[in-house]
Amino acid sequence: MENKRQKIEVADIFRQFESDYYRQHALTGEKKKAFNAIINCRTERLGGHTLKCDTCGYIEHSFNSCRNRNCPKCQYLKQVVWVDKLKARLLPVKYFHLVFTVPATLHKLFYANQGICYDLLMRSASQAIIKAGENPAFLGARTGCVAVLHTWGQALTYHPHVHMLVPAGGFDCEMVEWIKSGKNFFAPVKVLSALFRGIFAENIYKHAIDLISPAEEEKVDVNYLRAIIYNTRWNVFAKPALNNASNVIEYLGRYTHRIAISNARIVEICDDKVLFRWKDYRHQGKTKIMKVTGVDFINRFMMHVLPCGFYKIRYYGIFANKISSNLFDRFITFSTCETELPSLEGKSWQEILLENFGYDPSFCKKCKTGRMIWQIDISTQPRAA
């Protein structure tokens, strides 16, 4: 399992440098909630429960997880369940993986207006895909996408971008026939980049009155927006196609429930510095060691805590909730492709662990024959002021 106990964890860094961090920075709202959740995850402060073997009487105490979506220890099981549900949603066709990025000149504006800008980024990227697909010069069909927002680079730098999974085709105007695209993506990436920029510009102009300038606490001028949007080239990256739904689901699962950094990438804490592994994609993805201060590490991590209630995974076009089930059934009626149904729906987390990893958490580690039975809650300890 990917979330096994590591030698050094993000929570350890948070605890060690908490006082230093708060002397230099202030956390409010969702960021403070995430910070406290990560520190307290699987500790006595969140309470817990006691298990007792029904055969040998062995007792085991376990502390509760925080279940915060920013916690490195609370994401893997969610990812497994989400991927399983996606099996009933994705059409069994070839898929393209695209990445939509915004210029670095917009990063400060994005960070100052995260809720608005992240939403516009995801909607604009999806609209570019759908509009390009409907163009008779390219595909001439109704298509869609699954979008996943990320805000970080490998070095924990601020880098908002959207991963898009797009089917290699779409339905005709009457939604009864599937039209396949060619070997390459159905629209040139240069055209898609220009389309993406234009749609984003149109969308953000409508929200200019709601935006705060990153330099001063005042409204953003439309002319300022126009200048920084159109004076920089926008990029869309198309990655190699994935040939079947199983590969698609496995691949997308790597992106959906990621956080800025996993515990496995942290190397050590040395004095006031934190060392962690990162891939330098400017040098063929070579793995390097990054050294930053503990305070800087926390600051970089907290930049990627999303606004409260923000959905980082979204479905557009033919994958939208309102129509995806009907279209999936319609596709299956005229296709010979086999599909997979969800296998984890309605199962407990214990059953999921046993089915996917062969690990039975109710199995007694001492006598090897008994079952661990829940006994009593461990009361939550209040956190010291």
Would residue 269 count as lying in a domain? no
Would residue 114 count as lying in a domain? yes
Residues 329 and 219 occupy one common structural domain: yes
Residues 253 and 196 occupy one common structural domain: yes
Residues 82 and 66 occupy one common structural domain: no
Residue 160 token pair? 């908002």
What confidence tens digit (pLDDT) does each residue in 345-359 have? 777 777 777 777 777
What confidence tens digit (pLDDT) does each residue in 120-153 have? 999 999 999 999 999 999 999 999 999 999 999 9
Q: Alpha helices, DSSP H only, in the chain? A: 10-24, 29-40, 76-86, 107-112, 114-134, 189-205, 222-230, 245-256, 294-302, 324-333, 349-357
What confidence tens digit (pLDDT) does each residue in 171-217 have? 998 888 899 998 889 999 999 999 999 999 999 999 988 998 887 66
Residues 100 and 195 occupy one common structural domain: yes
Residues 126 and 254 occupy one common structural domain: yes
- What pLDDT band is residue 274 in, cutting at 50, 70 and 90? very high
Backbone phi, psi, residue 76, to 5°: -65, -45
What confidence tens digit (pLDDT) does each residue in 206-261 have? 998 899 888 766 778 888 889 889 988 899 998 877 776 667 777 777 777 788 99
* Residues of the chain above pLDDT 70, percent: 91
Mean confidence (pLDDT) of the chain: 87
Taking 70 as the threshold, does the pLDDT of residue 380 lie above it? no
Residues 50 and 123 occupy one common structural domain: no
What is the mean predicted confidence (pLDDT) over 371-385? 60
pTM of the model: 0.87
Backbone phi, psi, residue 260, to 5°: -55, -40
Residues 188 and 323 occupy one common structural domain: yes
Task: Write out the E strands in 132-208.
Answer: 144-152, 158-167, 169-171, 178-180
Residues 186 and 104 occupy one common structural domain: yes
Q: What angle do CA 243, 77, 363 make, to 5 degrees?
A: 125
Q: How many domains does the chain have?
A: 2
What confidence tens digit (pLDDT) does each residue in 286-341 have? 999 999 999 999 999 999 999 999 999 999 999 998 877 777 777 776 676 666 66
Contacts of 172 (CB under 8 A, 6+ apart): 141, 142, 178, 179
Q: Which of 89-93, 104-108, 302-306 has the lowest mean pLDDT?
A: 89-93
pLDDT score recorded for residue 351:
74
Residues 245 and 312 occupy one common structural domain: yes
The better pLDDT of the pair 52, 240 is held by 52
For the chain, report the end-to-end CA distance as a whole number of angstroms. 35
Residue 224 token pair? 């300022």
Residues 65 and 80 occupy one common structural domain: no
Q: Give CA 146 to chain center in angstroms.
A: 12
Residues 124 and 256 occupy one common structural domain: yes
Q: Quote the domain boundaries for residue 201.
A: 76-260+308-333
Residues 58 and 112 occupy one common structural domain: no
Nearest residue to 48 via CA among 380, 382, 383, 385 = 380
pLDDT score recorded for residue 73:
87
Q: Listing from the earlier edge strand, what are the strands of the sheet with 273-280?
A: 266-270, 273-280, 286-293
Contact 9, 73 (CB under 8 A): yes
pLDDT score recorded for residue 137:
94
